[in-house]
Amino acid sequence: MARRPRIQITLTERIGAHPCHHGHKPGDTWDFDTERGKLCPMAVHVAFPYVDILRYGGSVPGNEPGCARFCCPDVDTINVFEARIVEREESR
């Protein structure tokens, strides 16, 4: 059975004028499966469809293969995140 690829979420930049209310800073990184509870719930909500696209072999237009960029919905913060496949696991 094929295993799902590992997805890493990284906060790449902050565009908004205010710091993140959840305390995230550019450069912070999370393993989506094991650490998503540490990630802001609004960001996780937005990340889910992108993670599914990457895990099931899809791609997001305008992004390199295995990568999807998205923004936090907080208009005061506007954190930009990147979801990336960091390791493809082989079939067992």
Q: What is the pLDDT of residues 40-85, one digit of tens each?
A: 999 999 999 999 999 999 999 999 999 999 999 998 999 999 999 9
Q: What is the pLDDT confidence band of residue 91, given thresholds at 50, 70 and 90?
A: very low
User: What letter would DSSP give residue 63?
Assistant: S
DSSP string, 13-49: EE-SSS--TT---TT-EEEHHHHGGGS-HHHHHHHHH
- Mean pLDDT across 3-8: 91
Instruction: Enter the tokens of residue 52.
Output: 């599914």
Whole-angstrom distance, CA of residue 30 vs CA of residue 24 = 11
pTM score, whole prediction: 0.88
**H or E segment to which residue 73 belongs:** none
Instruction: Enter the tokens of residue 51.
Output: 């993670």
Q: What is the pLDDT confidence band of residue 2, given thresholds at 50, 70 and 90?
A: low
Q: What is the mean pLDDT of the chain?
A: 91
